[in-house]
């Protein structure tokens, strides 16, 4: 139950927590491996049979909520806001905008919280290549963002300057940027950029031609098999019939459409064979 309340942040975030629960359990009890389904079944069993008293459940839930990352981030934002929400903002006469306050010192509690967030992120992405990590969203530069970055810089200055290798510097800067995003509640782009091998130009052109031929066949077959067709289909069909100089008034209109459809199918087969021949030559 302690692992359950920890990963769900005191049951405030119960969406897709099975994998997190499995990881947390493995971290707490590495000698007792269990699957997420088994752990969820045990949690349900504890709740239904009331194996723990309501006071114990409440105590565990409250403790997990206080330790949760969302609570930690709220505390950091509140601390930074308190340091910057004094009536000492200087008004710039030229721009008529408020100049954000400089953070001279950061409270020890905020330093610990920022460092804890950073350490969690660093542990999560350690050993994973930069190109396989989520992209970091851009931060709008305003007073809150500047003050947050100031607090993070003061907290992690020694951490980053002690790096000796370039890969370490990249990793730590990435984690620092992720920390800023989390504190400022900015979502990262979870899509992982994996470069796919590009097709040669001739293959792309061939695929486009085959797709166009299949579309034309589909329109013709729909026209031949349906008693009533939409205006959109009629418009496309006129483009195709105009190309082969076929008129609706022709007495053999439908027969010529069928013949044209078969010719298109033969073209697709021929293009497919030429595709194979090119690949064989390469």
Each residue of 123-136: pLDDT tens digit?
878 888 888 888 88
Look at residue 264 and tell me whether its pLDDT is greater than 50.
yes
- What percentage of the chain reaches a pLDDT higher than 70? 76
Q: Is the dihedral of CA 125, 130, 131, 134 positive or negative?
A: positive
Predicted confidence at residue 95, as pLDDT, reads 41
DSSP 3: H
pLDDT of amino acid 28? 77
Computed over every residue of the chain, the mean pLDDT equals: 77
Query: Do 178 and 84 belong to one domain?
Result: yes
Let me know if residue 140 belongs to a domain: yes
Report, as an integer, the average pLDDT of 242-265: 89
Query: Which residue, among 62, 22, 61, has the nearest Cα to 40 in the 3D structure?
Result: 22
- Residue 140 scores a pLDDT above 50: yes
Could you tell me if 139 and 180 are in contact, meaning their C-beta atoms sit under 8 angstroms apart?
yes
Give the per-residue pLDDT at 85. 58
Query: In this structure, are 8 and 29 located in the same domain?
Result: yes
62 and 156 belong to one structural domain = no
Q: Is residue 260 part of a domain?
A: yes
pTM above 0.75, yes or no: no
Asked if 226 and 270 sit in the same domain, the reply is yes
Is 178 in the same domain as 219? no
Residue corresponding to tokens 């097709």: 199
Higher per-residue pLDDT: 41 or 104: 41
Domain-located, residue 273? yes
> How far is residue 217's CA from residue 260's CA, in Å, rounded to a whole number?
9
Q: Specify whether 127 is located in the same domain as 139.
A: yes
From 25, 52, 67, the end of a domain falls on: 67
53 in the same domain as 15: yes
For residues 7 and 43, state if they share a domain: yes
- Residue 24: which pLDDT band, with cuts at 50, 70 and 90? confident
In-domain check, residue 193: no
pLDDT(34) > 60: yes
Q: pLDDT tens digits for 216-243? A: 898 888 888 887 888 888 888 888 888 8
**Rounded to whole angstroms, how far apart are CA atoms 257 and 101?**
76
At 185 the pLDDT is 72
- 21, 77: one domain: no
DSSP string across 228-254: S--HHHHHHHHHHHHHTT--TT-TTHH
At 259 the pLDDT is: 92
pLDDT for 88 beyond 70: no
Cross-strand partners of 72: none
Q: Is the domain of 56 the same as that of 75?
A: no
Picking from 43, 67, 91, the residue at the C-terminal end of a domain is 67
Residue 97 predicted with pLDDT over 60: no
> How do residues 168-219 score in pLDDT, each as one tens digit?
888 888 888 888 888 887 655 554 444 556 778 878 888 888 888 888 898 8
Out of 20-24, 195-199, 260-264, which region has the weakest mean confidence (pLDDT)?
Answer: 195-199
Domain around 125: 70-183
Q: Which has more pLDDT, 39 or 158? A: 39
Same domain? 171 vs 103:
yes
176 domain-assigned: yes
Q: Is residue 249 part of a domain?
A: yes
Same domain, 23 and 128: no
Count how many domains the chain has: 3
User: Looking at the domain assignment, is residue 195 inside a domain?
Assistant: no
Contact between 6 and 39 under an 8 Å Cβ cutoff? The reply is no
Residue 189 falls inside a structural domain: no
Q: Looking at 67, 99, 119, which one is the last position of a domain?
A: 67
């Amino acid at each position: 139950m302690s692992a359950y309340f920890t990963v769900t942040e005191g049951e405030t975030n119960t969406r897709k927590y099975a994998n997190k629960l499995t990881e947390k359990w493995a971290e707490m009890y590495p000698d007792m491996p269990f699957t997420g389904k088994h752990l969820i079944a045990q949690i349900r069993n504890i709740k239904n049979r009331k194996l723990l008293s309501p006071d114990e459940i409440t105590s565990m839930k409250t403790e997990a909520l206080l330790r949760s990352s969302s609570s930690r981030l709220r505390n950091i934002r509140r601390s930074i806001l308190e340091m910057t929400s004094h009536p000492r903002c200087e008004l710039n006469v030229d721009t008529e905008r408020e100049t954000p306050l400089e953070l001279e010192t950061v409270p020890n509690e905020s330093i610990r919280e920022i460092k804890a967030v950073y350490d969690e992120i660093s542990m999560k992405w350690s050993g994973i290549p930069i190109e396989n990590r989520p992209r970091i969203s851009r931060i709008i530069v305003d007073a809150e963002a500047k003050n947050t970055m100031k607090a993070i810089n003061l907290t992690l200055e020694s951490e980053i300057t002690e790096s000796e290798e370039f890969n370490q510097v990249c990793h730590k800067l990435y984690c620092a940027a992720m920390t800023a995003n989390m504190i400022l509640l900015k979502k990262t782009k979870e899509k992982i950029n994996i470069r796919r091998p590009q097709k040669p130009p001739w293959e792309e052109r061939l695929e486009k031609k085959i797709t166009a031929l299949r579309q034309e066949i589909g329109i013709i077959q729909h026209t031949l098999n349906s008693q009533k067709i939409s205006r959109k289909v009629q418009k496309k069909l006129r483009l195709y019939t105009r190309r082969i100089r076929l008129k609706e008034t022709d007495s053999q209109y439908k027969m010529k459409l069928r013949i044209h459809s078969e010719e298109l199918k033969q073209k697709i087969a021929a293009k497919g064979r030429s595709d194979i021949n090119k690949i064989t030559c390469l």
